[in-house]
Amino acid sequence: MEALAVRLSGLDPYVDGAMRIVAFYDTLMRRRVDLPALGRASAALAECVVGLRLHGTGRVVRVAPDGRPAPALPAPASTTVPITLDEEEIGTVWLERPGPAGPLDELLLDRLALAAAGVVERYGPARTTMADPALVELAISADADEADRARALRLLGFAAGVPVRVLAVRSPLPLDRVGTLVCPAGPVKAALVGDVGVVLATALDPARLPADARAGIGAAGGPDRSWRQARAALRFTGPREPVVHYADLGALALLAELPEEAVRDNPDVAAIARLAADPHDLETLDAYCATGSLRRAAEILHLHHSSVSRRLEHIGRSLGMDLTAPGGPLRARLALTAWRLLADAPSPTA
């Protein structure tokens, strides 16, 4: 950017150059240019390749200084700045300048990011992923009447009559990024309801969820019903099964409908709660219930099958049940699942 600073220089090359960059982008914004035009103007000003990417759609604009599309093989970014809208990061802009960054590069990108956010807000549908939690709660509430629900969905950017699916998620990744990952192309909205992230979308790709996330997925249809299913499915997730589709639960979903007090007072569930004081015993029982096989459980635990057999004998005595009997593993699995559901019982607002 040294050449730019000299070209725009007055008494103070940096200050004069900075002021001219600000005025340059103010003019572009008044002219209501689109993203390609914004990229072309920026590349000419910066005298290097300029790039712009929107997270939600995956759209990328890369322009060379002559106004033509940049070569397919990008150079490393010399300077990068996020595009933010409504306090959400919706994309990135960058310069591909050979050699070190110039003194005005960051300012240029700051103004480019502001202008790009303005373009997206003006022309882009469903501008951001994060939504007003009150609207999301109205859309998924079982108590809302259909007219209010339809209005909430319309305000969230969903077309009338299009089935909306709901995902209930817990993830260390920001919720807006989770939303754009699982629905990179279609309308998607997200909000935190209670302690659970809610993602509404017309289509979901669970395979794109981050590895450390846990998610329950409801079926397509009414968002209120899909939310209840997704919230229930989330309760069945665990380290071995971080993503659960409600439709795959079958009769197991009935466990989520049982009164908490009845589950807590069940002798088998109470025995599992006591067993949980020893994580190794709990892990052994979980592996055995998940596989139904002593040898396969030993493979998962990286132990000899004789060691797992001895552990299961001890666990069976602690639980007061014979885990080798025909109904033993099923009984233990039901108790283990019911105990886990207690730990993730939804609050009244969720």
| 258-343 and 2-123 share a CATH fold | no
- Give the residue extent of every domain in the chain: 2-123, 133-256, 258-343
Q: What is the chain's alpha carbon radius of gyration, rounded to the nearest angstrom?
A: 27
| pLDDT tens-place string over residues 117-158 | 888 877 654 456 888 899 899 999 999 989 899 888 888 888
pLDDT 10s digits, 159-199? 778 889 999 999 998 898 898 889 877 788 999 998 899 99
- Give the C-alpha separation, 58 to 214, whole Å: 24
> Which residues lie across from 139 on neighbouring strands?
none
Give the model's confidence band at 11: pLDDT under 50 very low, under 70 low, under 90 confident, else very high. very low
Q: Which of 1-10, 78-87, 270-279, 285-294 has the highest mean pLDDT?
A: 270-279
Q: What region does 99 belong to: left with phi over 0, alpha with psi -120 to 50, or beta? A: left
Give the global pTM.
0.62
Q: How many helices and strands, by DSSP H and E, does the chain display?
A: 15, 9
- 145, two tokens: 């009447």
pLDDT value for 132: 84
Q: What is the pLDDT of residue 160?
A: 79
Residues 4, 13 contacting (CB under 8 angstroms)? no
Distances (CA, A) of 154 to 135, 164, 187, 228: 10, 12, 11, 21
Flag whether pLDDT at 348 surpasses 80: no
- Measured in degrees and rounded to the nearest 5, phi and psi for residue 23 equal -65, -35
Name the CATH superfamily housing domain 258-343: PucR C-terminal helix-turn-helix domain (1.10.10.2840)
CATH number among 3.40.50.300, 3.40.190.10, 3.30.450.40, 3.40.640.10, domain 2-123:
3.30.450.40
